[in-house]
């Protein structure tokens, strides 16, 4: 291989490596979940409409929860598109799910009962 071709090949190889690393880092970045979310819950305890307000610092989330019969603080994590958070209320609740842009869905557990939840970002 001529010297000029080696330099061109090395340049292309460097670009490919840089793009591959950038894509890998982007895939591991936590989804953006900051904002106000309207949550619909169905399951063993019945149906409910809830509101959560989330703040995000990297993969750590904190915020507030407001349901029809209780409210309180929450904290959790976002790993890529996976979210989990614990709500510290009279009846503690644990949520797990996935994020897809301005929607989330998953399962929850509280007081020995399970249910499904879906959320849509309202702001």
Same domain membership, residue 39 and residue 25: no
CATH of the domain at 112: 2.40.128.120
Task: Note the pLDDT of residue 20.
Answer: 52
As a whole number, mean pLDDT of residues 90-115 equals 96
Task: Note the pLDDT of residue 24.
Answer: 45
Same domain membership, residue 64 and residue 14: no
H helix intervals, 29-87: none
Q: What is the pLDDT of residues 50-86, one digit of tens each?
A: 999 999 999 999 999 999 999 999 999 999 999 999 9
Same domain membership, residue 72 and residue 14: no
CA–CA distances in Å: residue 87 to residues 28, 36, 72: 25, 15, 7
Threshold 0.85, pTM exceeds = no
């Amino acid at each position: 291989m001529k010297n000029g071709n080696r330099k061109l090949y090395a340049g292309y190889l460097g670009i490919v490596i840089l793009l591959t690393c950038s894509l890998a880092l982007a895939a591991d970045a936590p989804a953006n979940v900051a904002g106000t979310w309207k949550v619909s819950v169905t399951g063993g305890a019945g149906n409910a409409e809830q509101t959560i307000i989330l703040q995000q610092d990297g993969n750590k989330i904190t915020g507030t929860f407001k349901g029809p019969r209780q409210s309180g603080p929450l904290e959790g994590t976002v790993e890529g598109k996976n979210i989990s958070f614990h709500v510290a209320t009279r009846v503690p609740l644990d949520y797990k799910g996935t994020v897809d842009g301005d929607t989330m869905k998953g399962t929850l557990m509280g007081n020995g009962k399970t249910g499904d939840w879906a959320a849509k970002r309202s702001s």
